């Protein structure tokens, strides 16, 4: 008689905690529910500006006019979006990590940042950005207290 090889079983497992017990289940872990709310529009526009800059740098598109054509928007709108790249890197990062909006309007609008992006001095931009955030916080306090 021949010697049998050990039986090998492979499958995905995940652990789930329900109340006070741990449960072992087979199969892939269930998809996480989506986070509540949505990303602020300015966050999406900042990411778009960064992506468009990459496309230009890689030679995928020739210029802003080509981007406008591909995106079915005007060249002026492309310029507004691309102007966000003139912001100081730390401001760009802050925009990318703004909290999700669960209800109401987004905290910061593109129109508010256009004047900041046109200032060539990053130190002045940071002061304007701080002022914009401070104004936004005071507006939120008024809204919250009136509810």
- Hey, is 137 helix, strand or coil? helix
CB 12 within 8 A of CB 28: yes
**Where does the pLDDT of residue 104 fall: very low under 50, low under 70, confident under 90, or very high at 90 and above?**
confident
Surface-to-core class of residue 46, CB atoms within 10 Å of its CB (0-12 exposed, 13-18 middle, 19+ buried): buried
In whole angstroms, what is the distance from residue 30 CA to residue 16 CA?
10
- The proportion of the chain whose per-residue pLDDT surpasses 70, expressed as a percent, equals 81
pLDDT tens-digit readout, 21-74:
666 666 676 677 778 888 999 999 999 999 999 999 999 999 999 999 999 999
Long-range contacts, 53-58 (Cβ 8 Å, 24+) = 53/82, 53/85
In whole angstroms, what is the distance from residue 138 CA to residue 57 CA?
40
Higher pLDDT, 143 or 119: 119
In whole angstroms, what is the distance from residue 48 CA to residue 95 CA?
12
With 0.85 as the threshold, say if the pTM is over it: no
Higher pLDDT, 19 or 118: 118
């Amino acid at each position: 008689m021949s010697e049998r090889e050990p039986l090998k079983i492979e499958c995905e497992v995940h652990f789930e905690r329900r109340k006070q017990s741990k449960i072992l289940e087979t199969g892939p872990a269930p998809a996480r529910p989506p986070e509540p709310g949505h990303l602020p529009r300015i966050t999406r526009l900042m990411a778009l500006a960064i992506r468009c800059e990459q496309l230009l740098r890689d030679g995928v598109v020739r210029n802003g006019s080509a981007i406008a054509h591909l995106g079915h928007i005007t060249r002026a709108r492309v310029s507004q979006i691309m102007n966000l790249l003139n912001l100081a890197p730390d401001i760009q990062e802050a925009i990318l990590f703004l909290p999700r909006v669960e209800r109401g309007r987004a905290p910061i609008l593109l129109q508010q940042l256009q004047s900041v992006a046109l200032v060539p001095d990053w130190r002045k931009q940071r002061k304007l950005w701080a002022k914009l955030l401070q104004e936004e916080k005071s507006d939120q306090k008024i809204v919250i207290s009136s509810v």
